[in-house]
Amino acid sequence: MVWQARSCQAAGEDALDQLAGFRRDVYRCLWRRAGALFETMDAALTAPAAAPLPYLSLEPVMRRGHGMVYQGLAEGRLDEEALRDLLVAYRPRDWPLVFAIDASTYPRPWAATSPEREYHHHACPGSHGKDGAAVAGWAFQWLVQLSFTPDSWTAPQDQVRAGAGDDATRKAAGQILAHAARLRAAGETGIPLYVLDAGYDEAPLTWDLREHLSQVQILVRLRNDRVLYRDPPPPVPHKAGRPRKHGNGTDRFECKNPATWGQPGQELTVDDPRYGQVSVMSWSGLHPKLFCRGRFEGFARPPVIKCHLIRVTVQHLPNRRAVPGPLWLWWAGPGAPDLDLCWRAYLHRFDIEHTYRFAKHALGWDTAALRHPGQVSRWTWLIICAVTQLRLARTLATDYPRKWERRRKPGRLTPGRVRRDFARLLLLTGTPASPPKPTRAGPGRPRGRTSTPAPRHPVLKKTA
């Protein structure tokens, strides 16, 4: 298969030129306060730990004052479409065309002056509920390319904010269509596969992409208690009444009842060193029973949206201590699904969680105290560009393990270990940012003028 082909990444001078070229291209995408934004990104890459924004001004790469960190994020402007094109152009060509979409919360529980906050699922101080499941903040939805190697690397390609009143499934459909168009414009001839978790509505997503399913594939996890239906039998001639859209009781497909499954259309059994024996089965032509509410409110009759239903079972997890239950997946796309690609793609979907964790704990993505969501969006783009630079520098970095860590082979470093050596690599690539202009301190606040309290914004609550 094409996705199984492996090739070495650029090394030596080629990798250094690629890293330097990416940095120059990123700088060209910054329209206003470009120097402050670019050096803030470099400071986040070279800081010893995730630090608050003012402390980034103490890094040697940040040649501007501490006020320029906030000023760049508040007044700076960047070309988001050009950044998306750039990230697609610098995507890893030897990775499979498999992409994951998921959202993560940017918590701002005590920021009463921040507008458009909503309650999102997140566990952090200030959350509401017994288990800390809801916190006020913003949700940002990332699209990343996945690798099938057993590591924590991903290649972020896009991010959008699922704001107040937005539908995350609609946002995901828009991201898929725009990203697939960029891949085709870049000369990619394969059909990309987009993997999503159960938090996204599979039927509305398929409906939004119905005119483009010859160019994209989607794979969405379903709950284990779902019920789908086969096509009804042919209508009886001259029988009164409206024709059936779903099969009767004998045509139900209950995920929890094997007696209703019938013979699968495709089967696959493989032996994997991490998961043992993997069994994959697929049934085609199944569809759920939809109602005229939610996405399909206003329809005279809800549409029939068909899928390939995939069931995946593994012998054991990598820790060999548990036998997990079956995994049910909804697939839609051209032709029939590649079962070997599908089960591997979904298991590697969890790599996006490693990327979120690294962005938050190492780069300080969710610790920046920013007031407006537009500032957070610019900060998120800088974090995505920083993660991309670490991936491009993977073959260049030298390993500096802690005393309790094993030394890794070149090219097998984790994002955290590449970051330890990134300050040295910046001396080799240089910076495209212009040096700061010497200025004098401003006049300050005019005499007799007082500041007024910032307006307070309530947390928005979604209505059913």
pTM confidence score = 0.91
Check residue 2 and give its pLDDT.
38
Check residue 242 and give its pLDDT.
67
Phi/psi-derived region of residue 335, left when phi > 0, alpha when psi is between -120 and 50, beta in every other case? left
Straight-line distance from the first to the last Cα atom of the chain, in angstroms, rounded to the nearest whole number: 45
The CA angle 122-142-110, to the nearest 5 degrees, is 35
Neighbours of 361 (CB within 10 A): 14
Contact in structure between 158 and 138 (CB atoms under 8 Å): no
Residue 146's φ and ψ, nearest 5 degrees, are -105, 150
Check residue 240 and give its pLDDT.
66
Check residue 46 and give its pLDDT.
93
The tens place of each residue's pLDDT in the chain, 464 residues long, gives 433 333 344 445 699 999 999 999 999 999 999 999 999 999 999 998 888 888 999 999 999 888 899 999 999 999 999 999 999 999 999 999 999 999 999 999 899 999 999 988 776 554 444 455 788 899 999 999 999 998 889 999 999 998 767 888 999 999 999 999 999 999 999 999 999 999 899 999 999 999 999 999 999 999 999 999 988 777 767 676 666 677 676 788 999 999 999 999 999 999 998 888 999 999 999 999 888 777 888 788 888 999 999 999 998 888 767 778 899 999 999 999 999 999 999 999 999 999 999 999 999 998 899 999 999 999 999 999 999 999 999 999 999 988 998 998 877 899 999 999 999 999 999 999 988 887 777 788 888 888 888 899 989 876 54
Check residue 165 and give its pLDDT.
75
- Those residues whose C-beta lies under 8 Å from the C-beta of residue 66, and which sit 6 or more positions away, are 54, 57
* Proportion of the chain in helix, strand, coil states, percent, rounded to 5: 35, 20, 50
Check residue 18 and give its pLDDT.
94
b/e burial code for range 32-48 (CB count within 10 A of at least 16 → b): ebbbbbbbbbbbbbbbe
* Tokens (6 digits) for 107: 């918590």
Interhelix angle 373-392/66-75, rounded to 10 degrees, is 110
